[in-house]
Chain A
């Protein structure tokens, strides 16, 4: 009797594995890679100015007691143009927003801001994605919320949609 049951053991093991694999295949695909630096201090950086009429951006600008957003964007990035009205709305609501332009050139950034509006206080030029890599950011656009002590509170991956704005502003107010 015991031997008869034992014969089914390999089959049971196979069925369990098959079930595991099917469950894995049916799980929705998640391609977002969140930064592991959320909750940790902002890495040190100093970037030159990306636009003609905005000052340069360095990590020293954060950690001054007030929470700020930093928006990773690029003039060549289409979703960045799509999220521009939402960024403008957040700035209008009083949230200070800085920008980091990835792999960009000043003339292109100027043209982009002229066309889509300029809600940024400061804009740094990250010509070779080095600050983007240091932040653990995996693409454009992304938006980070930094608290008054220079700690990363939140990372928003992808463009900010209209229904993301209230949630982001709530987080910003809570960080005051």
Chain B
């Protein structure tokens, strides 16, 4: 079961802010971020990577995307 961040309909930089807030809170595991623009998809992926998370997958979700990011305990 992954944590979900619903950033659909929110403009820059809200999706990234919400993602950062979430990954600071959960520290590891799997987080799914729902976004509705390609810009947000790219920004969220870039931000997660910069925090040592991995983008596990990007799937179309409705008219937007579901970006799944993961981080293991040892930071892999």
Does chain A bind chain B?
no
Q: Which residues of A contact B (CB under 8 A)?
A: none
Q: Which residues of B contact A (CB under 8 A)?
A: none
